């Protein structure tokens, strides 16, 4: 299925985003806020319909917080279930679930469709970029980013250069991020890179404290916010990330590092089992009105 939006490429960029989950919607919204055309791809047509509604809601929020003027009209993403529709993109950002089997299939398909030299960017939170590059026809085109949620508010983005990432890919990605208004910090490739390798075990530890009855979720977050300067607290952050995504990322980290601090605690696993995934489901460590 396909829904047309405006044509043309602002600033020479056409952004394709593969995966219409929380981060895919957030990255698509960021591009639209910056006046860039977007192709949003997902295998699930129903999810794409929902994504268009969520993008519109995110654009309204972006206006409310002053990310672009009220009298500016942002377009809508072009949505499609066909990978072939990203062929003309200048950069492709993969934002699918944190599952190597899913991502490997996406990278194999993307590299067969886009022109050589087009950056194939994974927004993975934990899987090493060089692992993903091994599934692409041209490993030198593969690079990593880790946008924070919501991307239109958090301008710093972690960029992961794999051992096979080409210089041309880094330049093209730098140009795309400049068009998106993002400030890159480039790090080396390792499981979890910097942000997830530090943050996700910390969230896991905070959840264990709640699990053990030492403190409530609100008490943990209040202490971390007011005593240690964590902007939202680790457990509110977990709800924003998505507890299901967090558990997947922790499992990737544990499998690749053996760090016991990355083994998802029982409380997180129980919340996933119950469908309490955080903001997107209306309930996680806190309850939300979606």
For the domain spanning 2-188, the CATH number is 3.40.50.720
| Residue 224 structure tokens | 């971390």
By three-state DSSP, how is residue 114 classified? coil
- Listed by start position, the domains of the chain span 2-188, 196-281
Asked if 198 and 37 count as a contact pair (C-beta separation under 8 A), the reply is no
Q: Would you state the pLDDT for residue 71?
A: 54
| Residue 84 structure tokens | 């072939």
Q: Would you state the pLDDT for residue 11?
A: 58
Q: Would you state the pLDDT for residue 5?
A: 42
Q: Which residues of the chain have pLDDT under 70?
A: 1-11, 68-73, 290
DSSP state of 155: -
User: CB neighbours of 3 closer than 8 A, spacing ≥ 6?
Assistant: 52, 76, 78, 79
Within the chain, residue ranges assigned H as helices are: 22-33, 45-64, 100-111, 129-133, 167-180, 195-211, 217-228, 234-241, 243-257, 266-274
Peptide bond into 181 cis (omega under 30): no
113 CB-contact burial (10 Å; exposed 0-12 / middle 13-18 / buried 19+)? middle
DSSP 122-146: E--SSS-HHHHHTTSS-GGGEEEEE
DSSP state of 278: B
146 is annotated as an active-site residue = yes
Return the H-helix or E-strand segment holding 276: none
Top-tier CATH class for 196-281 = mainly alpha
User: Which residue among 146, 200, 276, 277 is the active-site one?
Assistant: 146
Model-level pTM greater than 0.85?
yes
Across the chain, mean pLDDT equals 93
């Amino acid at each position: 299925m396909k829904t047309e939006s405006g044509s043309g490429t602002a600033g020479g960029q056409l952004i394709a985003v593969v995966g219409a989950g929380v981060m895919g919607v957030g990255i698509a919204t960021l591009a639209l806020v910056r006046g860039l055309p977007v192709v949003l791809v997902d295998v699930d047509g129903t999810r794409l319909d929902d994504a268009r509604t969520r993008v519109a809601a995110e654009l309204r929020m972006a206006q409310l917080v002053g990310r672009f003027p009220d009298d500016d009209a942002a377009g809508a993403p072009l949505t499609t279930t066909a990978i072939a529709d990203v062929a003309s993109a200048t950069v492709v950002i993969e934002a699918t679930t944190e599952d190597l089997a899913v991502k490997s299939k996406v990278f194999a398909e993307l590299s067969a469709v886009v022109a050589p030299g087009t950056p194939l960017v994974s927004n993975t939170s934990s899987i090493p970029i060089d692992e993903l590059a091994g599934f692409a026809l041209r490993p030198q085109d593969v690079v990593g980013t880790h946008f924070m949620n919501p991307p239109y508010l958090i301008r710093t983005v972690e960029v992961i250069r794999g051992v096979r990432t080409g210089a041309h890919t880094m330049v093209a990605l730098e140009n795309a991020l400049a068009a998106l208004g993002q400030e890159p910090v480039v790090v080396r490739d390792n499981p979890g890179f910097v942000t997830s390798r530090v943050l996700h075990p910390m969230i896991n530890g905070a959840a264990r404290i709640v699990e053990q009855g030492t403190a409530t979720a609100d008490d943990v977050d209040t202490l971390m916010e007011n005593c240690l300067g964590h902007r939202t607290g680790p457990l509110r952050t977990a709800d924003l990330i998505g507890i299901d995504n967090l558990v997947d990322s922790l499992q990737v980290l544990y499998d690749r590092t053996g760090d016991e601090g990355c083994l998802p605690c029982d409380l997180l696993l129980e919340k996933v089992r119950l469908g309490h995934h955080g903001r997107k489901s209306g309930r996680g460590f806190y309850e939300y009105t979606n």
